[in-house]
Amino acid sequence: THVRKTGEIGYFKIKSEGAVAAGIRRIEALTGPAAGALIASQGEGLAMEIKEIVDKLEVSNATLKKLGQRAEEPPENPAYQTALDKALAAKDFASADAALHQGIRYRDGLKSVAVTAGKAVRKSSAGAAAGLASAWFDEVLAGSKETTYVGLLPGDQAELLAEALTVVKARQFPGAVALGVVVDDTLHFGAYVAPSLRDRYKAGDIVKAALAAAGGKGGGSPEMARGAGLAEKSDAALQAARELLG
């Protein structure tokens, strides 16, 4: 394409660029209404991405509040969308592109806060789960004379299962346990077998049998194993574990 002067091109929006050979790069760009359409399309994708990040941050903050922790504050929304829509309507593509990049910077800041909130949730959940697991052991297994136990843990955090199995091992429970915790539609299931009983029971076999009955799968070592299945089949999983440990 040839023009007499660059002013005839109008607004110039780079679509992509990349290497095609050593020392040579290919740039694809759009001008005029096509450039405006590209900016509008990118704006729609950006809006969807921002909504997903906002939703994720809201869930994380709700969990943090539930755990007694401080919620993470999102950056201030610069109202880029209003400026973008207004500029596109006026066919002012330079201003539209500037508003788009303002939105991209907002998205990046929002994403950083969401990542921080997610890390805080995992850290707080692990701490809360450890406390719950320890309290559960003291109440249920610490004074028990039984050598086997099968049951659901009193909580709704996936981390609780790992913490409970860790406590059972650390507190040297002299038996075999099969534990589950239901989180939404998922049954998280695990087992631990003390050294003195591993000639009779294998944690991996217990988990495989239990989760086969719950439409899931799992496995591990003779000492400890974990997996996941369907929450609606929790009773079937527990019954399968009881039959193995009976």
DSSP string spanning 77-96?
Answer: P--HHHHHHHHHHTT-HHHH
Is residue 1 very low, low, confident or very high in pLDDT (cuts 50, 70, 90)?
low
Q: Compute φ and ψ for 97, nearest 5 degrees.
A: -65, -35
Residues 229, 219: Cα–Cα separation, whole Å: 12
Q: What is the pLDDT of residues 132-158, one digit of tens each?
A: 899 999 999 998 889 999 999 988 888
128 has pLDDT over 90: no
Angle between helix axes 234-245 and 203-212 (nearest 10 degrees) is: 140
Of the candidates 119, 190, 122, 126, which has an alpha carbon nearest to the alpha carbon of residue 160?
126
And the tokens for 213? 């009955």
Residue 8's pLDDT is 74
- DSSP for residue 237: H
